[in-house]
Amino acid sequence: MAKLNQIIAVEKGVKSKAQQELTTAHHDLQKPALLSGISRTYQPKDEEGEQLPPESTRVQIKAETVLRDTAAALTRLFDVTATKDWANCEARADVKVDGRTLVADVPVSYLLFLEKQLTDLNTFVRKLPVLDAAEGWNLDASTDAWKTEPVRTIRTRKVPRNHVKAEATEKHPAQVEVYYEDVAVGYWTTVKFSGALPARRVNELLDRVETLQQAVKFAREEANGAEVTDQRVGDAVFGYLFAQ
């Protein structure tokens, strides 16, 4: 008795072969010359007339034969696909994480859905915003956000000053240069807030997603290892479709 994973492995090849044979049959039946035949002989009007050899062309393709061959090719595809789909309705497995059953008795179709969703969630978690590692962060209960310790900085203002480069004399005025000096006028106290996540939290989430991804894959492999009952659908279908 075959297993579901074996049926899945051969399904693609069977489908490709059946499609090729169906395409070939379709194209051949569109060629009237292959379906036509002729046989003719020549008899002169009298004994002195010219003798000509007989001519004949055989029928190369018979539509009924093509129907039988097409039915045979597609019957295998119909049976393999039916066997897989029937088995998918019955094949189930538990999703286990660290020995604990997270989801029990899951059908193959849902395991495939889970795999797709977890792949998307993996990408989502990897893109989560992370707190700036250059800052020290603490969770603030009043805002339910992360915040830094207060940092005090000086606010300055540029004040013009005069620098006498040369004193005034009887003949020359004083030479004065204006420059600006930064003078403290106040203080800023800054606290930064963030809604991002600590790197540790993101790494934990990513680890859980990847662990569950592996668990789902193992469950799918287990479900696909179930034995299957061969289905015989093709004979019934084509026995009706192409019956004479």
Residue 96 to residues 26, 214, 221, Cα–Cα distance (Å): 50, 10, 13
Domains of the chain, residue spans:
1-91+230-244, 94-136+199-224, 150-190
Q: Cβ(97)–Cβ(215) under 8 Å?
A: yes
Look at residue 239 and give its three-state secondary structure. helix
The separation between CA 119 and the C-alpha centre of its own chain, rounded to angstroms, equals: 8
User: How many other CB atoms are there within 10 angstroms of residue 72's CB atom?
Assistant: 14
Report yes or no on whether pTM surpasses 0.85.
no
- The candidate with the shortest Cα–Cα distance to 213, out of 123, 107, 130, 90, is 123
In the prediction, which pLDDT does 1 show? Answer: 64
Taking the C-alpha atoms of residue 116 and residue 212, their distance in angstroms, rounded to an integer, is: 12
pLDDT in tens, the chain (244 residues): 678 888 888 888 999 999 999 999 989 889 988 888 999 998 888 888 888 899 998 888 888 889 999 999 899 999 999 999 898 888 899 999 999 999 999 999 899 999 999 999 999 999 999 999 999 999 999 999 999 999 999 999 999 888 877 777 777 787 888 888 999 999 999 999 999 999 999 999 999 999 999 999 999 999 988 888 888 999 999 999 888 8
The separation between CA 86 and the C-alpha centre of its own chain, rounded to angstroms, equals: 25
In the prediction, which pLDDT does 33 show? Answer: 87
Q: Which residues are 31's β-sheet partners? A: none
Amino acid sitting at position 179: Y
- The candidate with the shortest Cα–Cα distance to 224, out of 5, 2, 8, 7, is 5
Tokens 């193959």, residue located: 108
158-206 pLDDT tens trace: 998 888 777 777 777 878 888 889 999 999 999 999 999 999 999 999 9
Cβ-based neighbours of 132, under 8 Å, separated by 6 or more:
194, 196
Taking the C-alpha atoms of residue 174 and residue 13, their distance in angstroms, rounded to an integer, is: 101
